[in-house]
Amino acid sequence: MKAIALVASLSLAPIEALQAEEFQKSYEFKIDQETLGEALTELSRQARVPLLYPYDLADRKGMHAIAGRFTVEEALNEMLRDTDFSGGLTESGVITVSLTGSKGQRQESEVTSGNVKKSLLAGVASIMFGAGAGHAQTAPEPLAKDELVVTAQKREQRSQDVPLSVDAVGGDALEKKGITDFRDVLRGMAGISYSGQTRGQGRYSIRGISTTAFSPTVGVYYDDISLVTIATGFSGAAEPPFFDLGRVEVLKGPQGTLYGGSAMGGAIKYVSRKPNLDEFEGSVAAGVGLVAHGSVSYSGEGVVNVPIIEGKLAFRGGVQVVHDSGYIDTVPNANFQLPGVSTTYPPTLTPLELPSLSTLENDDANEAMTSNIKAALQWRPVDAVTVDLSALVSNWKQENSDFFWTNLNGFKSSSRSEEPTSEDLGIYSLSITADIGAVELVSLSGYVTRDTEWDRDYSFFVTGLLPALYTYDSPNTSDTTTKTFTQELRLSSTANDSPLRWVAGLYFSRQEDTLDQDALTIGSGDFFGVGTDLVYQGLHNNVGKEFAAFGEFTYSLLDWLDFTAGFRYFRNNQVLNFAADGVFNGGPTSIVDQRLKEDGFNPKVSVAARVADDSLVYATASKGFRAGGPNRFVVASALCGDDLDRLGLTSAPSSYNSDSLWTYEVGSKNQFLDRRVTANVSAYYSDWKDIQQLVALTSCGFSFTGNVGAAEVYGGEVELNAALTDYLTVGTTAGYTHTEITETVPGVSASVGQDVLQVPRWTVGAYGDYTKPVSQSYLATLHFDYQYRTKTLREFDETVLVSLPDASSVAVPNFAQTQAAYGVANASLMFGTESHEIQLYATNLFDNAPLLDYYDLLIASGTTLRPRTIGLRFRGRF
């Protein structure tokens, strides 16, 4: 008797044989696996229907890809069309498949009737699909890596089939690991880093393509809606909440063809879960954690999916609330330290310390509260058309800054006024997808609003500029508002088995960015005799527009060999208006309708070879581009003369040029031993020209963006995952990135031979998961992970100027130039069933506290990792 494969999906909902009245029920299918076993398993999983077929047929190829809405029998017939297989549903609602012809008929008979006793079939089916199915737990199939479907190339593909470096984490994995912050995701990926610990202040770096300038080098997308904003000194990259996400994808290397400008280093894609047209479902979750050096953090959320008209209209929505405990204490009248002012002469310099004169006292002062609301509708008026309308609104407010004073013991600060930060983020989208035969049409409209308010105490910075104002309070308020509209029209081929697959489209965006900054020194109006306490007031307004046409075409030269060519033509327009005044601005200054226009062409070519069923090798050459722009500040030459002289300048440049790079990459993606082992490797070289970087004028507090020259970047990455046993899965990632400035220009502080800023030479991570049944109902999973990154260069300047008691100055080594290496470990123990789970977790297990984002312009201060947090999480599904 032939061996019989019986397949059950491991989805959260139990698999049951279809009842007779459900035979005509339609489901949404998306299946592109080529072998019979993989395709049928996916069909079974998506329809949640049991499956029987002869095991020796599992590796047969030739299955047709299907996408759309079908009954199970319609989907099966389409999948098996023009093959040597036939199949159908038994009277009891089980899928059966066999070979056609006399041999196939004998095998089908063996599967469905006499040669396999009906009692055996009934017994097997009752064990797997009957009433007891919800009470028996088995360890998950030991795949070494999640078989995630990603959309890196604007079409759905298995991540291992994409001929470029893609790291992806599924929504279930995010929930089970309790990940609520992008930093926890990026730390576990090779070749990726970031700066800025505070939400909304971060800047991403992928494979050494970093930035300290206003324009990012990494694109950020939520459901393909761009979240890229022009960063200011008071806002960085947008951070959508980790709430009801389907997956997070990180695309490494230039994505200049399909994703455009500001994706020259790569792209980060957040993909939300969509409404389910067929089933009522939902989840609830809650968590509580004790934060070292702080108090209690807590969270709660609920999500519900409701089919309003089955198969036609569904709603999905939810609410999430997160409270993050603070761990930095505000203490009264502690000493602040000004590293740029010395009370003694060389060779021994003593930084000036003075009492803060603060009266504030508050434990755990940097606590934060986040609230997120999601609402989404999906409408399918006809089978060929799908309309998705969604809104995500996120509000985050932190009571005080994450910066602590490095001259005080522990995590403490002593500001004279509260330093709250808040961010309101709204992401709204309308997507219309139409299947028009061999072509799919997508219209994607997006509108993003972002408002960041940033209040800081500048009293100590002002003291450093003018010691006579030491006793004067100097609050600063900065409000950044961004409004972005995007529209993309995209056509793509739908025949995945065609030798030619393609995608092409048009793109438009308009972004308006406003920064309003007011700096007061209370009482200074009388001191300066100017009649106002506003020592600096600035209003910036920048409007940018982008038009682009793009395309990417893949042709199969042979069954195993693909050639891809892509392009993007773009045109950017920017208009800047700026006005500033105040004694610290040197009087009124302005910029009126300063315009910048640029256009360009980003090409890409790639070759990919499927050298074995689960082995892919590829080579890619692609161009990335980042637009230039006007400098947002008019630097007061009278106040910043020393810094400008040091750079060989008489004034700061009014604008900066675009920068671009070419990246060449080779790689291989492999799976072995029935996909129990995954081994991916890649190597790359980038030639980066006219690098944009921020040039800080430390003595006066101003800065400007300049082009620092050129750099070469090269490195490699390794990813290994292995299911060592049915219960134990381990993995490791390692990335090496070498960066070197190869050319410099006058007016910047970079030197040939220096590293590019904010890029660790090594990023290394490892994890282990041990999952085993502990009863008939529960699985237990023990998880541990560790990430490590080497030191990075934070500033080009090897020396800084320190003022001496006689008003002269001396150059001393720049303590803030380098950030030290650090590592972080996490662990968890989870018990769960298909319907619920409870988890004991510890983040930053060893309470590591590296000094990050060290800042000595205002006072000696810095940030660190969130301290060790130990807590419990619960999640239930229905």
CATH of the domain at 255: 2.170.130.10
pLDDT of residue 850: 94
* HSE toward the beta carbon, residue 642, CA cutoff 13 A: 16
* HSE toward the beta carbon, residue 340, CA cutoff 13 A: 22
111 and 86 assigned to the same domain: yes
255 and 283 assigned to the same domain: no
pLDDT band at 34 (very low <50, low <70, confident <90, very high): confident
pTM: 0.84
Sign of CA dihedral 807, 812, 818, 822: negative
Distance CA 221, CA 227 (A): 5
Q: What is the CATH number of the domain that holds 565?
A: 2.40.170.20
813 and 775 assigned to the same domain: yes
Task: Tell which residue, 252, 171, 186, 122, has the closest CA to residue 680.
Answer: 252
498 and 574 assigned to the same domain: yes
558 and 577 assigned to the same domain: yes
pLDDT of residue 517: 94
Domain count, the chain: 3
Please tell me which residue, 343 or 194, carries the higher pLDDT value.
343
CA-CA-CA-CA dihedral for 90, 95, 97, 101, to nearest 10: 20
Mean pLDDT over 208-216 rounds to: 84
688 neighbors 713 (Cβ within 8 angstroms): yes
pLDDT band at 1 (very low <50, low <70, confident <90, very high): very low
Distance CA 495, CA 238 (A): 36
90 and 154 assigned to the same domain: no
pLDDT band at 109 (very low <50, low <70, confident <90, very high): very low
155 and 65 assigned to the same domain: no
Distance CA 617, CA 608 (A): 6
409 and 515 assigned to the same domain: yes
116 neighbors 110 (Cβ within 8 angstroms): yes
Residues whose CB is less than 8 angstroms from the CB of residue 529 and which lie 6 or more positions away in sequence, other chains included = none
Paired tokens of 372? 């997120």
129 and 216 assigned to the same domain: no
Mean pLDDT of the chain: 86
pLDDT of residue 54: 67
382 and 473 assigned to the same domain: yes
DSSP state of 753: T
pLDDT exceeds cutoff 50 at 59: yes
Q: Is residue 140 part of a domain?
A: no
Please tell me which residue, 258 or 213, carries the higher pLDDT value.
258
pLDDT digits (tens, 9 = 90+) for 738-759: 999 999 987 777 889 999 998 9
pLDDT of residue 4: 44
pLDDT of residue 24: 67
Domain with 280 in it: 272-877
| DSSP-derived secondary structure for 85-143 | EEEEE-TTS-EEEEESHHHHHHHHHHHHSTTS-HHHHHHHHHHHHSGGGGG---PPP--
* Cross-strand partners of 689: 660, 710
pLDDT exceeds cutoff 50 at 240: yes
Q: Spell out a b/e string for 655-674, using b for 16 or more CB atoms within 10 Å of the CB, else e.
A: bbbbbbbebebebebbbeee
Whole-number percent of the chain with pLDDT over 70 = 89
Please tell me which residue, 779 or 81, carries the higher pLDDT value.
779
Q: Is residue 496 part of a domain?
A: yes
pLDDT of residue 22: 58
Distance CA 254, CA 569 (A): 15
pLDDT exceeds cutoff 60 at 138: no
pLDDT digits (tens, 9 = 90+) for 623-673: 999 888 888 777 777 677 777 887 778 788 888 888 999 999 999 999 999
Query: Coil, helix or strand for 182?
Result: helix
569 and 620 assigned to the same domain: yes
Please tell me which residue, 816 or 4, carries the higher pLDDT value.
816
Paired tokens of 731? 């993995």
Strands 266-272 and 218-222: parallel
453 and 499 assigned to the same domain: yes
- Is omega for the bond preceding 420 within 30 degrees of 0, making it cis? no
pLDDT of residue 16: 47
pLDDT band at 129 (very low <50, low <70, confident <90, very high): very low
Distance CA 506, CA 512 (A): 21
Q: Is residue 141 part of a domain?
A: no
- Domain end: 102, 135, 168, which one? 135
Largest CA distance in the chain: 104
- Domain end: 236, 271, 306, which one? 271
H or E stretch including 198?
none
Mean pLDDT over 523-536 rounds to: 93
pLDDT band at 186 (very low <50, low <70, confident <90, very high): confident
Please tell me which residue, 596 or 739, carries the higher pLDDT value.
739
Please tell me which residue, 313 or 746, carries the higher pLDDT value.
313
Q: Say which residue the tokens 């986040």 belong to.
A: 370
pLDDT exceeds cutoff 70 at 436: yes
pLDDT band at 31 (very low <50, low <70, confident <90, very high): confident
pLDDT band at 58 (very low <50, low <70, confident <90, very high): confident
pLDDT digits (tens, 9 = 90+) for 689-723: 999 887 877 667 677 888 888 999 999 999 999 99
474 neighbors 522 (Cβ within 8 angstroms): yes
pLDDT band at 295 (very low <50, low <70, confident <90, very high): very high
pLDDT of residue 37: 81
- Domain end: 271, 303, 328, which one? 271
Residues whose CB is less than 8 angstroms from the CB of residue 131 and which lie 6 or more positions away in sequence, other chains included = none
Distance CA 344, CA 349 (A): 5
Please tell me which residue, 218 or 180, carries the higher pLDDT value.
218
297 neighbors 291 (Cβ within 8 angstroms): yes
Mean pLDDT over 237-244 rounds to: 88
325 neighbors 291 (Cβ within 8 angstroms): yes
Mean pLDDT over 527-546 rounds to: 93
Whole-number percent of the chain with pLDDT over 90 = 60
Q: Spell out a b/e string for 767-787, using b for 16 or more CB atoms within 10 Å of the CB, else e.
A: bbbbbeeeeeeebbbebbbbb
Q: Is residue 144 part of a domain?
A: no
Q: Is residue 591 part of a domain?
A: yes
Task: Tell which residue, 213, 192, 197, has the closest CA to residue 262.
Answer: 213
Q: Is residue 668 part of a domain?
A: yes
pLDDT of residue 235: 63
Q: What is the CATH number of the domain that holds 30?
A: 3.55.50.30
